């Protein structure tokens, strides 16, 4: 496809975190990626999102929090293998960005629209990183919904994790996956 934007959009795929190795984006590239992530439709210009960059040793430090949160949440004490998985969860990619949805009560911009904007920020973040040549994975997993993890990340009561975006260099090219047929999801309204 001649148009590079359409080529990117029509071929992009998520890359599983386990397949995201070094190098990750540089500091300058992270700034570019986050600037583009913040350039999304946003009713009433509330900036209903913010970004927490997890890189270097901070990923392992958050991993310790995940292991503790896992042990506190499970009915049975987790196995050593499970705890090690949690300690290493954020280490799967060189850079992970936690996208935080933050909503306020606003008469013209309902919460729903503010949350949608956070989703758009997640995906713009992915696309910007993809355009720079990096693979990405926008995932949540249990850690996005755990109060202990959210507290460690400093989330306020009006904040939720919209996603953890893992960014790195893809070590394998993902296969195509099925997409819905347009005939199943598109109709034309004729009144």
Q: By the criterion CB under 6 A, which residues form the site for ligand FMN?
A: 13-14, 137-141, 163
45 vs 144, beta carbon nearer ligand FMN: 144
Give every CB contact of residue 14 below 8 A, 6+ residues apart in sequence. Answer: 126, 135, 136, 137, 138, 174
Which pair of tokens denotes residue 97?
A: 């960005």
Cis peptide before 18 (omega within 30 of 0): no
Radius of gyration of the chain (CA): 18
Q: How far apart are CA 77 and CA 63, in angstroms?
A: 17
**Distance, CA of 154 to chain centre:** 17
Q: Minimum distance between the CB of residue 83 and ligand FMN, rounded to whole angstroms?
A: 19
Residue closer to ligand FMN (CB basis): 13 or 50:
13
Q: How far is the CB of 14 from ligand FMN (least distance, A)?
A: 3
CB nearer ligand FMN, residue 14 or residue 103: 14
Give the SS3 label for residue 166: strand
Least Cβ distance, residue 40 to ligand FMN (angstroms):
14
Shortest gap between Cβ of 139 and ligand FMN (angstroms)?
A: 4
Q: Which is nearer to ligand FMN, 34 or 164 (CB)?
A: 164
User: Closest CB to ligand FMN among 28 and 162?
Assistant: 162
Least distance (Å) from ligand FMN to the CB of residue 165? 9
CA gap 1, 9 in Å, rounded: 11
| Separation between Cα atoms, residue 144 and residue 5, nearest integer Å | 31
């Amino acid at each position: 496809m001649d148009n590079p934007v359409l080529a990117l959009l029509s071929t992009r795929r998520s890359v599983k975190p386990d397949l995201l190795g070094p190098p990750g984006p540089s500091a300058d590239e992270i700034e570019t990626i986050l600037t583009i992530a913040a350039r999304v439709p946003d009713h009433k210009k509330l900036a209903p999102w913010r970004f927490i960059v997890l890189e270097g040793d901070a990923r392992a430090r958050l991993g310790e929090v995940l292991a503790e949160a896992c042990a506190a949440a499970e009915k049975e004490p987790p196995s050593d293998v499970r705890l090690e998985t949690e300690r290493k969860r954020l280490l799967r990619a060189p850079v992970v960005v936690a996208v935080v949805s933050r909503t306020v009560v606003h008469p013209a911009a309902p919460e729903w629209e503010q949350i949608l904007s956070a989703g758009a920020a997640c995906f713009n973040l992915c696309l910007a990183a993809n355009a720079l040549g990096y693979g990405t994975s926008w995932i949540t997993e249990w850690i996005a919904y755990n109060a202990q993890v959210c507290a460690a990340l400093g989330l306020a009561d009006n904040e939720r994790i919209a996603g953890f975006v893992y960014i790195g260099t893809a070590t394998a090219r993902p296969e195509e996956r099925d997409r819905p047929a347009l005939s199943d999801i598109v109709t034309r309204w004729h009144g």
